[in-house]
Structures are given as structure tokens and as C-alpha cells.
Structure 1
Amino acid sequence: MKIAIRPASPFDFHLSASIFAGGDPQIQRYQDGRLWQLIRSGGKLMLAVINSRGTVDSPLLQAELHSDGPLQESDLPSARARVEGLLNMGLDLLPFYQVAERDPVMSGLVSQMRGLHSPTTPTVYEALITSIVEQQISIRVARNLQMRLVRAFGRTLTLDGKTYYAFPEPRDLAAARPEDLRGCGLSLRKGEYIIGVSREIARGRLDLESLAALDDREVIARLSRMRGIGVWTAELTMVRGMRRFDSIPADDLGVRRCISRYYRQGAGITGAEAREIASRWKPWRGLASFYLITAEQMGLAVQE
């Protein structure tokens, strides 16, 4: 089954999807102009294979949906929403670009990444779990651990003899032991945090998805009550899983490094100083920091 998607313009599919270029081909990968990943829709697992048929200014994507059983028309609305959410395809970038124009540095970088959309997880739960995994380690190491976690606990879909893995659901990790997650390379403590959150959800005592209706301060307060979750993890969860484009994890070493590189000639800065610099990007501080991180990864210099 195929669906056509028209993202908000501008949308650079190659630039936006390239963040997944080094991904596990059995989990999530961008290669040869195609992005593929398992999605959940109506209780079914589907492999979504997405490619571009348009341009940055007139974007058009085609998503092919594959499952091990018949797909119905009733599956399409939910599947479409899942696919569009992968790269925030409905986000209008123009208001952010208007704010960026007031900052010569950000404006110079944005002009080189026009149409870049940030990824979003399908659920707040996935955003929280991946944020816990990333605590105090590099993004590269964290992504490797996340892939091992998905392979160990995720549900699978086999198509044409090849197995694909979906991100684990709360019930999958609720049944695990910290020692099991240790086998994926996670510390025992992180394993305890992840299992604790998963069990609260599986037992019906926690609804992470409902937090999206709260303001940023209340979300941070609610998440910080859980063992192993502080402000940094909560802020990253909001950016990644709630589309809070003004939320910025300013205490993150990578965010501070990128801000310092482009605004302080590489000199060390504190989280407070990073927030002060970022204040010029309101209400898009989180998205602006994503652009800075991407600019660093691409080796971009500020255009005068």
C-alpha cells in the first residue's frame, strides 16, 4: 500500500533524513534516498519505506507500507500520522526562520540548511527511554546502546525473510530485569530507571502521553519526580517526544559545545550562559539548538 505525503514547505528530505544514515538497517535507516522504519498503526506493525518525489520548495513524499497481513483503508490515517511525525513533516519552518533573521550567526547557518526538519519519536515513552540511555554518555555510544536495546526487547516483523525490529513497548521492558538490560551495555542503574518507568506505565499508574497537555514547567516537575530523571532528561524528552521546539537542554555538553563554537569561539560556557545566548531564539530555542548540532556535524561555518 502506498500513500502520498505533502510536507510543509520548505522540506529537504535528504538533509532531514540523513540523521539516520548510520542507523541499523533492521531498525531505522536512511540509504540511497530511502528512509525505512517499523511503525505501529491500529495495533499492527508496518514497515514504512519513504522516498522523495518532489523538491525542497514543492515537497512530495511517497511511503510504501508493508506488513505480514492485509492492510485496510482504515489503517491509513494512523499510519500517515506516524510517518509524518518521524520528521515533523507538518511543521512550518518559516516562523523560525523569521526569528533566525534577527541573529546573523543563526541566519548564516540556517541559510545553508534550509528545509531541515528535526526528528520526533512516535511516543513520549520512547523519547524518555532514549533520553535515559543518553545520560552522561556520547550520542554515538548512546545510539549503539539503543539499537541493542531494540534488538533485545522490541517486537519484530519478518518480511521476505528479513526481520525488522520496533522500539519496545512498556510491557516489554516492564518484564525485564536490570541484569537483562546490562546485557545491552546499559549500567544497572539506568536499567533500574528504565524498568521502573516501564512498570509504572504497564500497571496503569503512569500516563506519559497525557503530559503533552501540560506546560513545560509542569512537565519537568512531573518527570523529575521519577527516579533517575532530572531536568536535563525531562527537557530532552520534551524536545524529542512532545514537539516542544522552545525547550532546550542547555546543560547538555553537546549543546553547550555547539553554542560555544558558533557564539564564543569555542570557549567553555555554563548552562546559564547557554540559556542566555539561546534567549534570542525564543520561541524556537530547541529547534535552533538542533540546527547548531547539525551544523557542527556538517562542519559548516557561518556565512558572512
Structure 2
Amino acid sequence: MNPIASDTSILDAVAYLSQQDPIIAEVISQRVLCTIRPNKNYYQELVDGIISQQLSVHAARAIENRFRDLFGGTFPEPADILTSDVETLRGIGFSRAKASYVLDLAQHIVDGSVRFDHLDALTNEAVIAELIKVKGIGEWTVHMFLMFCMGRLDVLPVGDLGIRNGIAKLYDLPTVPKPAEVSELALLRGWHPYESVASWYIWQSLDNTPTL
């Protein structure tokens, strides 16, 4: 069973990691309590996640607001999105690629090939396999979804450059670690089953926590 973020489980995670890894313990002592919590509006958060890829928070929020305005001021259902097209979405600030990604996600939901009602029962690996069917959704996006939407505490975003840079800095490594080396370090430092919380504090050490 995957551990899920709550006030109690976050405190448990912080206590556990502080005991397991002195370097993470030092970061924890200097930062606020981890704010990872579940957000069960999976569909909306995934759309917003596509919109915000490689954008500043301010720019992403402006496009998200225009997106809602396009559909009468409320967040559109998947079928509503399919009444639009790439050029219309480009007109409110989407790139051509992101417009096609959002339309592809909406189509997958409408035809039933992507469902959200059963995700809580799936393993992390199965959630990844389900969601990467959609154009524009890769492993990094699903890792962020697992952490910041599903609230899972045992996710290690090995491909995240911030995590890799943060590990290199905190552990005084000569080079930025490869994804496989991130996994190895997490295992050696005993982060499991709270890899998400360790990752959150690594981002915090860089003042660079992502949002979905």
C-alpha cells in the first residue's frame, strides 16, 4: 500500500528521514514542514500540469485563466475541450504542442482509455503506464502527478534536474548524478518509503519546488 500524505504521515516521514539521513535531516531542520498533500481533482490538475510545463508560475496562471474564460469562466469538461481545436487554444497562449496534448488527453478521457476513478488502487508503475498513453505526458509529469495530486510519499523523480542538481550539491558529488545513481543513493540513504518527502526537501534546499 502506497503511503499517502496527511498531517500525521508527513510528521512520520520527517522523523524517519531525520533518523535515516543526516544530510536530509539538516535540510529539514532549516525548512518548513513538507506541504505535499493530495488534490483529488486529478483531471483538472493534469490539464493544468500540461499548461504549466516549462513556464513560469505567472505565465501559466495567465493561460489557465484565459482557458477558463474560453469556456465561460469555469473549468471545461473533456467533451467541452473537444469542441475547441488547436488554433483556438493557440489564440489564448497555448503552444501548438500543448494544445494537441490537452486535446489528446480530453479524447482519451472521453473514449475511456484514460480513467481517473481507479487510479488510487493502482501502483505507481501502473499509474505511469496509464497516463503516458497521452501525448505530452511523460514520466516526469506523472511523477509530479503522483506526488502533488495523489499525495503519494514513495515517489522518486529520478529524471528531475532539480533533484539531480540538489543531490550533487548536498552530497558534494563531483558530477550531477544520472537517474540510476539517484535511485542508488536513495536506497543507500534509506529514504524508502518516503522518497517524495526527501525529494521535496532537496527542492527546498535549492528554493526550487515544482508545481503541477
Indicate whether the TM-score tops 0.5.
Answer: yes
Is the Cα contact below 8 Å between 1:110 and 1:291 reproduced in 2? Answer: yes
Q: 1:211 and 1:235, CA in 2 relative to 1: closer, same or farther beyond 3 A? A: same
Match for residue 283 of structure 1? Answer: 193
Provide, for residues 30-88 of structure 1, a one-character-per-residue CA deviation record: whole Å limited to 9, x for no partner: xxxxxxxxxxxxxxxxxxxxxxxxxxxxxxxxxxxxxxxxxxxxxxxxxxxxxxxxxx6
Query: Which of 3, 8, 12 in structure 2 is aligned with 1:95?
Result: 12
Match for residue 120 of structure 2? Answer: 212
Query: Which of 123, 127, 150 in structure 1 is aligned with 2:45?
Result: 127
Match for residue 203 of structure 2? Answer: 293
Question: Which structure's residues are more often strand, by fraction?
Answer: 1
Match for residue 22 of structure 1? Answer: none
Q: Name the SS of the counterpart of 1:149 in structure 2.
A: helix
Match for residue 67 of structure 2? Answer: 153
Is the Cα contact below 8 Å between 2:39 and 2:151 reproduced in 1? Answer: no
Q: How many angstroms does 1:181 deviate by? A: 2.8
Match for residue 13 of structure 1? Answer: none
Match for residue 86 of structure 2? Answer: 178
Query: Which of 243, 256, 264 in structure 1 is aligned with 2:164?
Result: 256
Distance 1:207 1:275 in 2: 29
Match for residue 96 of structure 2? Answer: 188
RMSD over equivalenced CA pairs, Å: 2.7
Distance 2:163 2:203 in 1: 7
Q: 1:203 and 1:217, CA in 2 relative to 1: closer, same or farther beyond 3 A? A: closer
- The residue type equivalent to 1:255 in the other structure is I
Structure 1 gaps of 5+ residues are 1-87, 157-164, 299-304
Q: Name the SS of the counterpart of 2:193 in structure 1.
A: coil
Match for residue 267 of structure 1? Answer: 175
Q: 1:191 and 1:245, CA in 2 relative to 1: closer, same or farther beyond 3 A? A: same
Which has the higher relative contact order, 1 or 2, with Cα contacts under 8 A spaced 6 or more apart?
2
- The residue type equivalent to 2:120 in the other structure is A
Q: Name the SS of the counterpart of 2:30 in structure 1.
A: coil
Is the Cα contact below 8 Å between 2:48 and 2:64 reproduced in 1? Answer: no
Percent of aligned pairs sharing the same letter: 28
Q: How many angstroms does 1:106 deviate by? A: 0.4
Structure 2 gaps of 5+ residues are none
- The residue type equivalent to 1:290 in the other structure is W
Q: How many angstroms does 1:231 deviate by? A: 1.8
Q: 1:276 and 1:172, CA in 2 relative to 1: closer, same or farther beyond 3 A? A: farther
Is the Cα contact below 8 Å between 1:120 and 1:240 reproduced in 2? Answer: yes
* TM-score (norm: length of structure 2): 0.79
Is the Cα contact below 8 Å between 1:126 and 1:241 reproduced in 2? Answer: no
- The residue type equivalent to 1:295 in the other structure is S
Q: How many angstroms does 1:150 deviate by? A: 2.0
* TM-score (norm: length of structure 1): 0.57
How many residue pairs were aligned?
Answer: 199
Match for residue 199 of structure 1? Answer: 107
Question: Which structure's residues are more often helix, by fraction?
Answer: 2
Distance 2:162 2:80 in 1: 31
Query: Which of 150, 156, 161 in structure 2 is aligned with 1:242?
Result: 150
Q: 1:184 and 1:214, CA in 2 relative to 1: closer, same or farther beyond 3 A? A: same
Provide, for residues 140-179 of structure 1, a one-character-per-residue CA deviation record: whole Å limited to 9, x for no partner: x2423431232112279xxxxxxxx765543443333222
Query: Which of 101, 111, 114 in structure 1 is aligned with 2:29?
Result: 111
Distance 2:38 2:62 in 1: 20
Distance 1:249 1:213 in 2: 21
Q: 1:205 and 1:225, CA in 2 relative to 1: closer, same or farther beyond 3 A? A: closer
Q: Which has the larger radius of gyration?
A: 1
